[in-house]
Amino acid sequence: MAKRIDVEGLNAWFGSFQALADVSITVEPKQVTALIGPSGCGKSTFLRALNRLHEVVPGARVAGRVLLDDQDIYADGVDPVAVRRSIGMVFQRPNPFPTMSVRDNVAAGLKLNGVRKKSELDDVVERSLRLAGLWDEVSHRLGRAGASLSGGQQQRLCIARAIAVEPEVLLMDEPCSALDPISTLRIEDLIGDLKDRYTIVIVTHNMQEAARVSDTTAFFNIAGAGEPGRLIEVGPTTKIFTKPDDNRTEDYITGRFG
């Protein structure tokens, strides 16, 4: 089930460069939270810190606490792989396993977790593809390669793959930026459907997209080159795009400062 994320005093570094400073935010369950801000503001770093992907980069480290329903995912002894199973990620470019079939793409995570029974796998594949809004388009060609699908279909396949392992949280890093407008709107609709089940955090460069899909918007910014990214303001999306509290937010979303 969807879980709440409480981030307390999160800092992130790449080697000696601090990419993110002192971020505290609560991400509500069954809501879509959008992260916006200029390039280099740390929003993607923040997203990756939420499922311990940040530390995969050599020299990268994180300090602070990330609580998933009161469980600190950075506590000693926590298995990062288990964290990533419950906090799934969808990336900017659709990245299905290219030679695997559609079915195997969706089932890959389950197989890794030791599920072997065909009927169980088939059930999960169908359920996940249905949730991802892709079932009707691929049900007759589940054996074809994932790479044979269109870009928008591939991204929905990646979403199906992410939800097949029943995560509590879905992180999306610019999931529509490589897609055409119609595919983008389909994914955005899908995000709206999925929030009934998951906590969703989406990074987007497209402010209209943030406005369309999210309930809460968080604005990140940097004070200048070499400075760490900081959370400037977080609030209901309607408020952020109508009358934000902070002038820096207002300037950014109205294009007064690029």
Partner 1 sequence: MAEETRVGFHRDLEEIDQKVVQLFALVAEGVAKSTDAFLADDREAAESLVDADAVIDALYCDVEELVQRQFALQSPMARDMRFLLSVLRIVPELERSGDLAEHIAARATRGISDSLTPRIRGLIEQMGRIGTQMWREAADGYVDRDADVARRLNERDDELDELHSSLTAELVTGQLSVPIALEMALVARFYERLGDHAVNIGERIRYIAEGP
Judged by CB, which is closer to partner 1: 17, or 24?
17
Q: What's the closest the beta carbon of residue 236 comes to partner 1, in angstroms? A: 12
Judged by CB, which is closer to partner 1: 198, or 219?
219
DSSP letters, the chain, are: ----EEEEEEEEEETTEEEEEEEEEEE-TTSEEEEE-STTSSHHHHHHHTTT-GGGSTTEEEEEEEEETTEETTSTT--HHHHHHHEEEE-SS----TTSBHHHHHHHHHHHTT---HHHHHHHHHHHHHHTT-HHHHGGGTTSBGGGS-HHHHHHHHHHHHHHT--SEEEEESTTTTS-HHHHHHHHHHHHHHTTTSEEEEE-S-HHHHHHH-SEEEEEEESSTTPPEEEEEEEEHHHHHH--SSHHHHHHHTTS--
Applying CB under 8 A, which residues contact partner 1? 38, 207-208, 211, 222, 224, 241-244, 249-250, 253-258
Judged by CB, which is closer to partner 1: 58, or 224?
224
Judged by CB, which is closer to partner 1: 111, or 256?
256
What separation in angstroms does the CA of 199 have from each of 28, 108, 147?
A: 7, 22, 28
Q: What's the closest the beta carbon of residue 253 comes to partner 1, in angstroms? A: 5
Q: What's the closest the beta carbon of residue 187 comes to partner 1, in angstroms? A: 19
Judged by CB, which is closer to partner 1: 211, or 234?
211
For 186, phi and psi rounded to 5 degrees? Answer: -65, -45
Q: What's the closest the beta carbon of residue 184 comes to partner 1, in angstroms? A: 14
Q: What's the closest the beta carbon of residue 221 comes to partner 1, in angstroms? A: 8
Judged by CB, which is closer to partner 1: 72, or 251?
251
Q: What's the closest the beta carbon of residue 244 comes to partner 1, in angstroms? A: 6
